[in-house]
Amino acid sequence: MVKDAAKLAQGTRTVGLGSGSTAAKIVKELASLKDDRMEFVPTSTQIKIEAEKNNLAIADENRIPKIDIVFDGADQIDGRFNMIKGGGGALLREKILISSAKRVVILADESKFVKQFSRPVPIEIHPMARSSASRKLVDAGGKPSLRILDKGYPFITENGNLILDTAFASIKDPRAKEIELKSIPGVMEVGIFTRKADVYYKARNDGTYQKITT
């Protein structure tokens, strides 16, 4: 599946890389294409280091408006191909890349494909808004929980912000909910992604996969 997906980058110039284990796998396959014309924009230090290990050229962030294709994973994908992302904490940077890319490719296990969202939405907030944003998220029908590391320290994003993982009983209109939550002062980004990808790869438990084109 990953090898097939990587082929979609052939002939492109600027490639965006999401974060997490899926992005790490795609980096190795992209390196095998051995195309020196390609340059890469990673969304996290983790993937940047992985790209450097594989001798991929890292592009300046000013190249973001000209990204040809982005490869990323997802935490959940609903029946209308809206997504929840941000489990790794890079939702702000991932949304910047995905919103700017000409093509978006998502790779995910079949367990991530659901009829309706059933997991909390990661919401990146400015530290100053920790209390105020939490109250407003409750007013919006959510149950926010500050993301905490195993040792008890708050999770800090690479942008210096906090994450409130916020559960909702249901999200009937993901786009409307995304807009509503982003209007809260101190909210930097919301882990609801309503831009549909161009291609989804669904990995099945038996080792096969399905390619879905929207």
Give the tens place of pLDDT for each residue, 165-184.
999 999 999 999 999 999 99
Give how far Cα 40 sits from Cα of 14, 51, 54, 99, 119, Å: 6, 8, 12, 16, 31
- Residues marked active site are found at 94
Predicted pLDDT at 209: 95
User: What share of the chain in percent tops pLDDT 90?
Assistant: 92
Is 90 exceeded by the pLDDT of residue 63?
Answer: no
Residue 34 has pLDDT above 90, yes or no: no
pLDDT tens digits for range 99-112 = 999 999 999 999 99
Domains, the chain, in order of start with CATH, read 2-115+194-213 (3.40.50.1360), 121-192 (3.30.70.260)
The pTM of this model reads 0.94
Strand ranges, E, within the chain: 14-17, 39-42, 69-72, 76-77, 83-84, 103-109, 121-125, 142-146, 162-168, 187-190, 192-193, 199-203, 209-213
pLDDT classification of 85: cutoffs 50, 70, 90? very high
